[in-house]
Amino acid sequence: MQGELIAIVGASGSGKSTLLNILAGLDRPSAGGVWVGQRDLLNITEQSLVQYRRQDVGFVWQTTARNLLPYLNVAENMDLPMALSGRPRRLRREWSGELLAALGIGDKAGRLPHQLSGGEQQLTAIGVALANQPPLLLADEPTGELDTATAIRVFEMLRTLNRSFGVTVIIVSHYPGVAQFVDRVVHIRDGRISSETISTASYQRDGSRNEEEFLVVDDAGRLQLPQEFADRFTHRGLARLDLEDGQVTLRPSGGSPGTGQRPQE
């Protein structure tokens, strides 16, 4: 949904980064449909795809060195995407100054990337990704190379930018506490969405948030159980389903597939 702050989590190889690369226009899907705004990324010309990557989406890589040109300073790195898009110099300077202030690195504008800490490099990378004011910001493990305190700072900044500029932010992360910084956590297993966790303010003084997990049912009525629940059925094979007043309850049945045994009541 437009303006959301979303985290995608899952085991290595579950498809998180592939999904992000498709949304970024870096990989082409082989089938299905992918719509971002008004653009159909499955049926798009190369010229339109370049325009999409330049104007509609910003991307932050995990490896800090991949985000920035080492021979340009912070301000110049942020200026480059706008220059390539043909934005006038005055407007470029105004927006880069606003971004630097919002990111809290205004005093680092003249520094080269190797003169910055890891956290400052990632904040600069976020600024570069937002230089052309895209409606969508994607971040692939943006805190993977950072310590905990710096990771929290980066997540808090992403949340601040999401709220301040209304940009939709999607983060792929292994960080265990990512749920406290986002509106929704999407759990992926084996290339499919298994569940979603919705985070809402608890209105407690400590600033904590309430989290509620929901299973995702696809158009065919299929769902993936969270792994800890799926493990309960691994050795028994069958499950008993009870449906009452819209509530679904699954219980191990005690029967085994193909044995002809009736589920135990």
- The arithmetic mean of pLDDT across residues 138-146, rounded, is 91
Classify 2 in phi/psi space as left (phi over 0), alpha (psi -120 to 50) or beta.
beta
- pLDDT band at 144; cut points 50, 70, 90: confident
Domains of the chain: 5-215 (3.40.50.300), 225-265 (no CATH)
**What six digits make up the tokens of 152?**
């929290």
**For position 215, what pLDDT does the model report?**
67
Residue 30 has pLDDT above 70, yes or no: yes
Residue 188 has pLDDT above 50, yes or no: yes
- pLDDT band at 220; cut points 50, 70, 90: low
Listed range (15-29, 58-72, 81-95, 233-247) with the worst mean pLDDT: 233-247
**For position 202, what pLDDT does the model report?**
56
Q: What percent of the chain has pLDDT over 70?
A: 78
- The arithmetic mean of pLDDT across residues 184-191, rounded, is 85
Distance (Å, rounded) from C-alpha 100 to C-alpha 259? 66
Residue with tokens 């006038």: 88
Query: pTM of the prediction?
Result: 0.79
H or E stretch covering 8: strand 5-9
Distance (Å, rounded) from C-alpha 22 to C-alpha 45? 15
- pLDDT band at 74; cut points 50, 70, 90: very high
SS3 47: helix
**What six digits make up the tokens of 229?**
């629940």
- pLDDT band at 113; cut points 50, 70, 90: very high
Closest CA to 25 of 14, 13, 39: 39
The distance of Cα 237 from the centroid of its chain, to the nearest Å, equals 34
Distance (Å, rounded) from C-alpha 131 to C-alpha 57? 10
